[in-house]
Amino acid sequence: MSPYPVRAGILGCGMVATEYAETLAASSSVDLTACADLDHEQARRLADRYGIAAVPVEDLLTPETIDLALILTPPGTHAELADQAITVRLRAVWVEKPFTTDPQEATALTARAEHAGVLLGVAPDTLLGPALQTAAAALRDGLIGDIRSATATLLSTGPERWHPAPQPFYADHAGPLGDMGPYYLTALDYLLGPLRVRAATARTCGDRRIRSGPRAGEGFTAHAPTYVAALLETDDGTPVTLTASFDAAATHTPHLEIHGTEGTLILPDPNFHNGQVLHRPYGARTAEVIPHPATASGRGLGALDLAGALGDGRAPQCSAQRAERTVYLTAAILRAATTPPLPVQSPPHSIAPAS
Ligand SMILES: NC(=O)c1ccc[n+]([C@@H]2O[C@H](COP(=O)([O-])OP(=O)(O)OC[C@H]3O[C@@H](n4cnc5c(N)ncnc54)[C@H](O)[C@@H]3O)[C@@H](O)[C@H]2O)c1
C-alpha cells in the first residue's frame, strides 16, 4: 500500500494551528482531512477555512480517521494526548513544544512510541528551515574554522505585551526557558551537539500585568523564573552562554552567535525558520549575508518530514529523541540554578558610595 498521501488531523485549533494548516495545505504528501478542539467552534472555523472536517475530540485520534496527528494544544496537555495517540497506534504523531517538562516522561513516551512502532516527532522544526540549514552547512564547510564559543540570547518583553491570556507562559516550568528555550537549545544541540550544564542562575520578577486584549491591566503572578543565565558546554568543552529573559524591553544583542578561529556566524532568531545568516570573517569590519535558497518554510515542516519518514522508513529529523535531550537539558539548567552562588569575599579596600 502506498504510504501517500498521509491523512493528517489537527488537535487544538488555536493560534498556531493556522500556520500549520497553511504549510500542510501546500503539500502533496500530506492530506489534511480533519481537526478537533475542546471548543468545537474553534475547530469549525479552521475546518471551514481549509475545507476539512471538524470532528468531535474523541473521534479524531483513531486510525479510522487519520494516520498522522498534530497535537497543537496547550503545553500541559501534550504528554497525555501524545500517549493517547500512541496507545491507539496512529502511524505518526507530531507534538508542539514543549514535549513535556519531566525528563522521565520524555523518555517513557519516546520508548512507548518506539515499542508501538509509532513515529513520534516534536517541535521545534525550525532546524529544517533555511536559516539553520545554512548555518549548519557553513559550520560543516569550516567557514568559521574551529568553534571556540557561542552565545545564545533571548532578551524580550514578556508575552503579556501581545498575548491576551499570558498566564500559562509563567506557569511552573514555563517562563523564557520553558517556553522559548526549546528553540534556542534545539538550535544549539543541532549545530554543536549534546550540551552539558556547568552553572546557571535564575531570578524572578513575580508581579506582572496583562498588557493586551480585553483583560489588559489585570495582575497575575509569574511562577517560572523570568531570567535565566546558564553556562553550557559541548562534549569537547566549548563554552556556550545562554541568557533568556521576559523582562527586557529591547536589545541590540544578536540571538545566536557562533565564534570560530576564522570568523563568526550570526544567526537569526531560532524561533523562526527564515532570516539572514551573517558571516563576519576574522578581522573583517563588516558581516556579509550567506545567501540561501528561497524554500518553502514555516511551522509544519517537521510534520511533513515525519510523514516523509513514514514512507521512507527512516527516522524523523525532529524526533522525540531530540526533544528528549532538550527536556533533560532544561531540567539540568533549572537544577543548576538551585545551587547556591559562590560567596564573594569582601576585598580589604572600600570605595566611597557615589553621591
Ligand atoms: N501561538 C504561537 O505563535 C505559537 C508558536 C509556536 C508554538 N506554539 C505552541 O503551540 C501550542 C499551542 O499554542 P497556541 O498559541 O496555538 O494555543 P491556543 O491557546 O491559541 O490554542 C490551543 C487550543 O487547544 C484547545 N485545547 C486545549 N486542550 C485541548 C484538548 N485536551 N483537546 C483538544 N483541544 C484542546 C483549546 O481550546 C485551544 O483552542 C503551545 O504548545 C505553544 O507553545 C505556539
How does strand 256-260 pair with strand 239-245?
Answer: unpaired
Say yes or no: 193 and 259 in one domain: yes
What is the residue with the minimal CA distance to atom 19 of ligand 1? 14
Helix (H) or strand (E) holding 232: strand 227-234
Q: In this model, does residue 200 exceed pLDDT 70? A: no
Question: In a mutational test of the pocket of ligand 1, which residue from 13, 15, 35, 163 has the highest number of ligand atoms less than 8 Å from its CB?
Answer: 15
pLDDT single digits (tens) 82-134: 999 999 999 999 999 999 999 999 999 999 999 999 999 999 999 999 999 99
Say yes or no: 257 and 205 in one domain: yes
Which pLDDT value is given to residue 204? Answer: 55
Distance from C-alpha of 9 to C-alpha of 71, rounded to nearest angstrom:
9
Report how many domains make up the chain.
2
Q: In this model, does residue 66 exceed pLDDT 60? A: yes
Which pLDDT value is given to residue 293? Answer: 79
CATH number reported for the structural domain that contains residue 45 in this entry:
3.40.50.720
Beta bridge partners, 242, equal 152, 230
Mean pLDDT score, 277-302: 90
Q: Is 39 near ligand 1, meaning CB less than 6 Å away?
A: yes
* Nine-digit cell string for 227: 531570567
Q: Is 9 near ligand 1, meaning CB less than 6 Å away?
A: no
Nearest to 11 by CA among 59, 50, 48, 51: 59
Domain membership flag for residue 336: no
Question: At residue 63, what is the residue type?
Answer: P
> Other C-beta atoms within 10 Å of 139: how many?
17
Domain membership flag for residue 345: no
pLDDT single digits (tens) 162-178: 888 888 889 888 889 98
> Other C-beta atoms within 10 Å of 344: how many?
6
Contacts 24+ apart (CB under 8 A), 20-24: 20/70, 20/72, 20/299, 20/300, 20/303, 21/46, 21/49, 21/50, 21/300, 22/298, 22/300, 23/296, 23/298, 23/299, 23/300, 23/301, 23/303, 23/304, 24/70, 24/300, 24/303, 24/304
Domain membership flag for residue 333: no
Please return the burial class of 44, using the count of CB atoms within 10 Å of its CB with bins 0-12, 13-18 and 19+.
middle
How does strand 53-54 pair with strand 68-71?
Answer: unpaired
Say yes or no: 154 and 98 in one domain: no
Say yes or no: 20 and 93 in one domain: yes
pLDDT single digits (tens) 25-35: 999 999 999 99
* Nine-digit cell string for 351: 570605595
Whole domain around residue 106: which residue ranges?
6-124+299-318
Nearest to 263 by CA among 347, 88, 145: 145
Distance from C-alpha of 119 to C-alpha of 91, rounded to nearest angstrom:
6
Say yes or no: 10 and 116 in one domain: yes
Domain membership flag for residue 338: no
Q: Is 74 near ligand 1, meaning CB less than 6 Å away?
A: yes
Say yes or no: 147 and 158 in one domain: yes
Q: In this model, does residue 2 exceed pLDDT 50? A: no
Say yes or no: 272 and 192 in one domain: yes
Q: Is 16 near ligand 1, meaning CB less than 6 Å away?
A: yes
Domain membership flag for residue 249: yes
Q: Is 15 near ligand 1, meaning CB less than 6 Å away?
A: yes
